[in-house]
Amino acid sequence: MTPQDYVQQKAAASGSSFYYAFLFLPAPKRAAITAFYAFCREVDDVVDDMVDPGVAATKLQWWRTEVAQAFAGTPSHPVMQALLPLAASYQIEQRHLQAVIEGCQMDLNQTRYLDYAGLQNYCHLVAGVVGEVAAQIFGQTDPQTTRYAHTLGQALQLTNIIRDVGEDARRGRIYLPVNELKQFGVTAQEILNGTYSDRFTALMRFQAERAQGLYDQALALLPAADCRAQKPGLMMASIYRALLAEIERDNFAVLHQRISLTPLRKLWLAWKVQALGRL
């Protein structure tokens, strides 16, 4: 299996909505974003598949070293072998990859966030930076597109957090800020136990409104000159906003299940942005 085959398989096997946005890119950009996404999946899987935190920490340290060695010219992992030849062309720097690893490290060290400001820092590392790199790969001519991409990345991450509340709780992590749990009278134990209430629904509606506000803010920041090139990001916004609407229609029943869109619907939403140029 070549490094290119490896990253393609990694991206496709994830079942992520991102994969559908990649399909419409020209081959060179598709190769770059697929390799970068595969890297993100590799380091994220270290935490998601964690049995022993010590082993996970060791694996993340291995990735830090691998990234440094790769940018020094000696990549050993197929993901880095696929990504490095394309990095310079799309201004992908070592600091970007190390930031993603740092965000995954936070998942090993921290299972609660006191307030939204703390959660924003986590989202910056695992999603904002990812959005910035993606925007560069898609094609960026205006510096303001970086702000758009960072804001969109945070909106996507908040949507993931809303979708995965129950799943994350079963792993011992609650991303919803502690002060907001208190504001709505929801205890961490209720979430860990999968207990629904009107208070929980109100809390989740508050989170969804914040995410929707970030989508609106991101779209308002996107310069007209870069709209065409940034269609893959707009596809993601369309798919994730549809997912958020689905979760809201299901009254935020996210503690016992993972609500998702069908692959056909994701493909349709992506195609609609590609064909019509709007959400």
- Taking only the tens place, the pLDDT of each residue in 11-30 is 887 667 777 788 889 999 99
Q: Judging by beta carbons within 10 Å of its beta carbon (0-12, 13-18, 19+), is residue 178 exposed, middle or buried?
A: middle
Question: Residues near 68 by Cβ (< 8 Å), separated by ≥ 6?
Answer: 94
pLDDT at 98: 97
pLDDT at 65: 98
Closest by CA position to 97, among listed 40, 28, 34, 32: 40
pLDDT at 226: 96
pLDDT at 20: 78
Determine contact, residues 68/94, Cβ cutoff 8 Å.
Answer: yes
Determine contact, residues 174/191, Cβ cutoff 8 Å.
Answer: yes
CA 279 to chain centre: 19
pLDDT at 276: 74
Question: Residues near 128 by Cβ (< 8 Å), separated by ≥ 6?
Answer: 150, 151, 153, 154, 157
The angle subtended at Cα 122 by Cα 121 and Cα 126, nearest 5°, is: 120
Tens digit of pLDDT per residue, the chain (279 long)?
A: 899 999 999 888 766 777 778 888 999 999 999 999 999 999 999 988 877 889 999 999 999 999 999 999 999 999 999 999 999 999 999 999 999 999 999 999 999 999 999 999 999 999 999 999 999 999 999 999 999 999 999 999 999 999 999 999 998 899 999 999 999 999 999 999 999 999 999 999 999 999 999 999 999 999 999 999 999 999 999 999 999 999 999 999 999 999 999 989 998 999 999 887 655
Residue type present at position 205: R
Rounded CA-CA distance 15/12 in Å is 6
pLDDT at 13: 79
Exposure pattern of 64-73 as b/e (b: 16+ CB <10 Å)? Answer: bebbeebbee
pLDDT at 269: 92
Q: Judging by beta carbons within 10 Å of its beta carbon (0-12, 13-18, 19+), is residue 88 exposed, middle or buried?
A: exposed
